[in-house]
C-alpha cells in the first residue's frame, strides 16, 4: 500500500475506530469536560451520537455533538463576501457558510471523512432521477418550505435562481455557470436581466408543477447532483429579485435569516421564524446558536489571538492558524487537542507554460519535473502538518477515485539532476536554437507568483535554484493576488511579453469529482485570453478527450477511473509540477459545538456548527 493510500486508509480506519470506541464507551467521552456532548443528541446526520476528542477529532468525527441551541456565535474572517447572494458568489468560505441561511437543492453530507464528499437532498426530496439515457434529470422539492417572509418556495423559484445565476452573468458576475454548459437551451435565453419577459426562460428547464423541476441536458453529465449542491440552486422568487442588489434583501430559507450585512464590517444572523424543522428530516439545518455574528476583514495577525483568548468562536477564513499560532498549538497539548490538521481539498503546483518555447517540447517540461526538490518546498510551505503532503498527481487525494502515482519519482522527492539533464539534452536536440553551446537555455524566463504569501516566494526561490543547476535561468515576479489571473499569469499578452514559463497556482475544487477539480485548470475549452486559470496554456486534446469520455460514463466507479486516467495524462504531458496536497492546521475553540471538518468544503462545516 502506498503512502497516500495508507493515509486515506488510516483516516477511514481511525474514523471507524473513533466512532466505534466512542459508541462503546461513552463514559470515556464524558470524562473530559471539554469534549462531552453539550445537549441531548438524538439523530445527527452522521448518525454519530457521541463525541470525538483530541487532535484531528473533527476530521474523524463530531466534536461536542449536540442539537441544543447555544448563545451568540462570533466568527471572524480575513476577507469579505464577494456577495452574500447565493447566486453571485464563488468564495469557498461563503459556500461553507451558506447553509445557515439558504437551502440549495442538494447539500454535502454533514459527515466526516470521505462520506462528507457525498451529496444528500436538502431542498430536494431526493437525488435526481435520471432518464432518457442520462439526458433528463428530474427533482421534486420538499413541500412546505418557506422563505423568511413567509411565502412558500416553488419549483419555479429554483428554475429562476439557476437562470439568474448562470444566464444572468451580465449582472451577477461572480459565481460559476456550469448549467449553461450542460442544460439544453433552444431559445438562446439572454438571462432575466436582458430578457425581462417573465414568460421567457431556458427551454431545457421545465417546472410542470409547483414541486417538480426537470432538466434536459445537451449531453449526459453524471455529476449533475453535484451541480445542484452549488448555492446558486437555492431558490429566489422572481418578484423579489433586485439583480446585483438582491443581497440587501435576501430571502432566507435556512435556519437563520440575514438581519444586517455591512460590507467590510459585519453580518448578523438570527433564527428564521419561517423555518420549519419538519421540512428538514436529515437535520442539515439545526439552530445551534441564538445569533451569529460574522466580523469580516479582520487583520490576519489578530485572528489567532481572538480564537485563543475566546473573543471569537471560529475563523471563517478556513486557511488555518498563522505560523506563530502553529508553533503555539503544536507545542501546547491542551491547544493541540482542540485542533485539526486536515486536507484543504486543494493542491499547490507550478504550471509549465506549454506554449512557451522550448517548453512546448515535452522533454523540456519533463526536465522541470525531474529537477524539482519537493522535499525542501514541503518544509518551506509549513511541513506535513500545516503545509501538506508532497504531491505527485494532478488531483488531490481527497477526490473520490483518486489513484496514487508518481511518474517522476526521485529519492525523498529531492529531485534528480541526472534525469533532468538527460531530458534537457533530448530537448536541446529537438530545439537547438533555444540553447547555448554549453547546454544552457539562451533566454531568461519568468516564474510568476502571487504577492500575498511569503511561503510561495520561498518555494519559487527553491525552484529557481533547481532550474539554475541545469542551466535554466529565471527571475521571480510576485504579482497582486487579486489581479493574478486577470492581468498577469492568466493573461496571455502578459505571459508572452514577459516570457512567463512557470506560474504558481493553488487550486481547490468546485465540487469533489475529477471534473469539479480538473476541468477549470486543464481543459482546452477553459482557456481564456485573460482571467485564465489553465496556466499551462495548452489545449491538450488528449485531456479534452478524457473529459468527454468521463462525462458520458454513468457508472460512478468507471467514471472515477476515467478521471484518474486524465490525471495520468496530465502528468505524462508534464503540464504541472505538483508540490503539496495542501493541509491546514485549524483551531476550534472549546466554545464551539457540533464541529465536523467537511472534506468536500475543505473547512469546518459552518452551517452545522453551534456554540455552548
Partner 1 sequence: MINYIVRRLLAGVVLLFVISLITFFIFFVIPRLGGQTPESLASSFVGKTQDPKAIEGVMHRFGFDQSIWVQYGRYIKGVFFGYDFSNGAEQVHCFAPCLGFSYKNDILVSHSISEWLPVTLSIALGASVVWLLFGVTVGVISALRRGTWVDRAGMLTALMGVSLPVYFIGPLLMIVFANNWHLLPDSGYVPLTTDPYQWFMHLVLPWAATAFGLAALYARLTRVGMLDTLNEDFIRTARAKGLPERTVIFKHALRAALTPIVTIFGMDLGFALGGVVLTEYVFNLPGIGREAVDAVNQSDLPVVMGVTIVAAAFIVLANLVVDLLYGVVDPRVRLS
Residues forming contacts to partner 1 in the complex (CB under 8 A) are: 80, 82-83, 89-90, 168-177, 180, 191-193, 241-247, 262-265, 295, 297-299, 302, 305-306, 309, 311, 480, 482-483, 485-487, 491, 493, 520, 528, 530-533
Q: Give SS3 for 364.
A: helix
Instruction: Supply the minimum distance, in Å, between the C-beta of residue 420 and partner 1.
Output: 33
Q: How far is the CB of 23 from partner 1 (least distance, A)?
A: 41
Phi, psi of 11 (to 5 degrees): -65, -45
Give CA–CA dist 400/257, Å, rounded: 34
- Residue 244 or 417: the one with the smaller Cβ distance to partner 1 is 244
Question: Could you tell me which of 565, 517, 546 has the C-alpha nearest to residue 349?
Answer: 517
Closer to partner 1 by CB, 75 or 386: give it. Answer: 75
DSSP designation for 329: H
Largest CA distance in the chain: 77
Query: How far from 437 is each of 72, 370, 426, 529, CA to CA, in Å?
Result: 70, 22, 14, 35
Under 8 Å between Cβ of 603 and 344 = yes
* Separation between Cα atoms, residue 550 and residue 561, nearest integer Å: 8
**Quick one: three-class SS letters along 396-459?**
CCCCCCCCCCCCCCCHHHCCCHHHHHHHHHHHHHHCHHHECCCCCECCCEEEEEECCCHHHHHH
Closer by beta carbon to partner 1, 523 or else 574? 523
Distances in Å between the alpha carbon of 430 and those of 77, 393, 424?
Answer: 51, 27, 10
Give 604's DSSP letter.
E
Number of Cβ within a 10 Å radius of residue 5: 13
Of residues 82 and 457, the one with the C-beta less far from partner 1: 82
Report whether 510 contacts 520 (CB < 8 A).
Answer: yes
Q: What per-residue string of b and e applies to 586-606 under the rule 16 or more CB within 10 Å gives b? A: bbbbbbbbbbbbbbbbbbbbb
Minimum Å distance from CB 55 to partner 1?
A: 25
Least Å distance, CB 531 to partner 1, is: 4
- Which residue, among 528, 471, 470, 478, has the nearest Cα to 503 in the 3D structure? 478
**Minimum distance, C-beta of residue 107 to partner 1, in the bound complex (Å):** 21
- Contact present, 377 and 338 (Cβ < 8 Å): no
Angstrom CA distances, 56 to 93, 131, 330, stand at: 20, 42, 12
Q: Smaller CB distance to partner 1: residue 243 or 384? A: 243
Nearest distance, CB of residue 540 and partner 1, angstroms:
19
Q: How far is CA 433 from the centre of its chain?
A: 42
How many C-beta atoms lie closer than 10 Å to residue 457's C-beta? 17
Query: Of the two residues 386 and 478, which places its CB atom closer to partner 1 in the complex?
Result: 478
Inter-axis angle of helices 362-371 and 417-430, nearest 10:
160
What is the closest distance, in whole angstroms, from the C-beta atom of residue 556 to partner 1 in the complex?
26
Which 3-state string (H, E, C) describes 390-411? ECCCCCCCCCCCCCCCCCCCCH
- 469 or 530: whose CB is closer to partner 1? 530
3-state helix, strand, coil in the chain (%, to 5): 35, 20, 45
* Nearer to partner 1 among residue 37 and residue 191 (C-beta): 191
Report the residue number, 188 or 334, with the smaller CB distance to partner 1.
Answer: 188
DSSP state at residue 485 = I
| Cis status of the peptide bond prior to 358, with omega within 30 of 0 | yes
The nearest distance, CB 314 to partner 1, in angstroms, is 16
Nearer to partner 1, 131 or 452 (CB): 452
- Report in angstroms how near the CB of residue 213 gets to partner 1 at its nearest: 22
Return the number of the residue (12 or 244) whose C-beta is nearest partner 1.
Answer: 244
Q: Considering beta carbons, is residue 49 or 193 the nearer one to partner 1?
A: 193
Q: Which residues, 6+ apart, have CB-to-CB distance to 411 below 8 Å?
A: none
* CB closer to partner 1 out of 16 and 190: 190
Whole-number minimum distance, CB 225 to partner 1, in Å?
20
Q: How far is the CB of 94 from partner 1 (least distance, A)?
A: 11
Least separation, in Å, of the C-beta of 453 and partner 1?
A: 15
CB of 394 to partner 1, least distance (A): 18
Q: Please, which residue, 306 or 392, has the CB nearer to partner 1?
A: 306
Rounded Cα distance between 119 and 107, Å, is: 5
Beta carbon of residue 454, minimum distance to partner 1 (angstroms, whole number)? 17
CB nearer partner 1, residue 195 or residue 210 = 195
Amino acid at each position: 500500500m502506498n503512502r497516500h493510500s495508507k493515509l486515506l486508509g488510516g483516516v477511514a480506519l481511525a474514523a471507524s475506530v473513533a466512532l466505534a470506541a466512542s459508541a462503546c464507551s461513552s463514559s470515556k467521552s464524558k470524562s473530559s469536560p471539554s469534549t462531552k456532548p453539550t445537549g441531548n443528541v438524538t439523530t445527527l446526520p452522521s448518525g454519530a451520537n457521541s463525541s470525538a476528542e483530541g487532535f484531528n477529532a473533527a476530521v474523524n468525527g463530531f466534536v461536542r455533538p449536540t442539537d441544543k441551541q447555544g448563545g451568540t456565535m462570533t466568527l471572524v474572517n480575513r476577507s469579505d463576501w464577494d456577495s452574500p447572494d447565493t447566486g453571485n458568489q464563488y468564495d469557498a468560505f461563503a459556500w461553507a457558510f451558506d447553509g445557515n441561511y439558504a437551502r440549495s437543492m442538494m447539500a454535502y453530507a454533514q459527515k466526516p471523512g470521505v462520506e462528507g464528499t457525498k451529496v444528500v437532498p436538502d431542498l430536494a426530496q431526493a437525488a435526481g432521477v435520471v432518464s432518457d439515457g442520462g439526458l433528463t434529470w428530474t427533482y421534486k422539492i420538499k413541500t412546505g418550505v418557506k422563505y423568511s417572509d413567509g411565502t412558500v418556495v416553488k419549483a419555479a423559484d429554483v428554475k429562476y435562481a439557476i437562470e439568474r445565476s448562470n444566464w444572468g452573468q451580465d449582472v451577477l458576475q461572480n459565481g460559476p455557470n456550469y448549467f449553461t454548459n450542460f442544460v439544453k437551451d433552444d431559445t438562446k435565453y439572454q438571462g432575466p436581466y436582458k430578457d425581462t419577459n417573465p414568460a421567457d426562460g431556458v427551454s431545457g428547464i421545465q417546472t410542470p408543477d409547483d414541486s417538480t423541476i426537470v432538466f434536459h441536458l445537451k449531453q449526459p453529465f453524471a455529476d449533475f447532483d453535484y451541480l445542484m449542491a452549488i448555492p446558486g440552486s437555492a431558490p429566489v422568487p422572481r418578484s423579489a429579485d433586485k439583480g446585483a442588489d438582491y443581497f440587501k434583501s435576501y430571502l432566507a430559507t435556512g435556519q437563520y435569516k440575514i438581519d444586517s450585512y455591512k460590507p467590510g464590517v459585519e453580518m448578523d444572523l438570527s433564527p428564521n421564524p419561517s423555518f420549519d424543522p419538519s421540512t428538514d428530516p436529515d437535520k442539515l439545518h439545526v439552530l445551534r446558536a441564538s445569533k451569529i455574528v460574522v466580523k469580516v476583514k479582520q487583520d490576519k495577525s489578530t485572528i489567532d489571538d481572538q480564537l485563543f483568548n475566546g473573543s471569537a468562536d471560529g475563523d471563517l477564513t478556513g486557511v488555518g492558524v498563522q505560523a506563530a499560532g502553529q508553533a503555539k498549538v503544536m507545542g501546547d497539548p491542551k491547544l493541540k487537542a482542540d485542533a485539526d490538521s486536515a486536507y484543504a481539498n486543494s493542491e499547490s503546483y507550478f504550471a509549465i507554460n506549454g506554449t512557451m518555447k522550448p517548453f512546448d517540447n515535452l522533454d523540456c517540461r519533463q526536465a522541470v519535473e525531474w529537477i524539482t526538490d519537493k522535499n525542501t518546498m514541503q518544509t518551506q510551505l509549513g511541513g506535513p502538518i500545516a503545509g501538506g503532503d508532497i504531491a505527485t498527481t494532478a488531483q488531490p487525494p481527497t477526490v473520490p477515485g483518486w489513484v496514487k502515482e508518481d511518474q517522476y519519482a526521485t529519492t525523498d522527492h529531492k529531485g534528480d539532476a541526472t534525469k533532468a539533464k538527460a531530458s534537457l539534452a533530448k530537448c536541446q536536440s529537438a530545439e537547438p536554437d533555444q540553447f547555448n553551446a554549453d547546454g544552457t537555455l539562451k533566454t531568461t524566463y519568468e516564474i510568476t507568483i502571487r504577492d500575498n504569501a511569503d511561503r510561495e516566494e520561498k518555494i519559487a526561490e527553491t525552484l529557481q535554484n533547481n532550474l539554475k543547476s541545469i542551466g535554466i535561468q529565471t527571475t521571480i515576479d510576485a504579482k497582486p493576488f487579486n489581479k493574478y489571473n486577470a492581468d498577469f499569469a492568466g493573461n496571455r499578452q502578459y505571459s508572452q511579453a514577459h516570457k512567463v514559463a512557470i506560474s504558481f497556482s493553488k487550486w481547490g475544487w468546485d465540487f469533489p469529482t475529477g471534473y469539479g477539480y480538473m476541468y477549470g485548470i486543464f481543459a482546452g475549452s477553459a482557456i481564456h485570453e485573460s482571467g485564465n486559470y489553465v496556466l499551462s496554456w495548452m489545449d491538450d486534446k488528449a485531456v479534452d478527450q478524457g473529459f468527454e469520455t468521463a462525462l458520458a460514463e454513468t457508472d460512478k466507479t468507471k467514471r472515477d477511473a476515467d478521471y484518474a486516467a486524465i490525471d495520468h495524462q496530465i502528468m505524462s504531458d508534464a503540464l504541472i509540477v505538483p508540490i503539496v496536497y495542501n493541509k491546514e492546521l485549524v483551531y476550534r475553540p472549546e466554545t464551539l459545538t457540533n464541529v465536523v471538518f467537511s472534506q468536500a468544503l475543505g473547512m469546518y462545516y459552518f452551517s452545522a456548527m453551534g456554540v455552548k
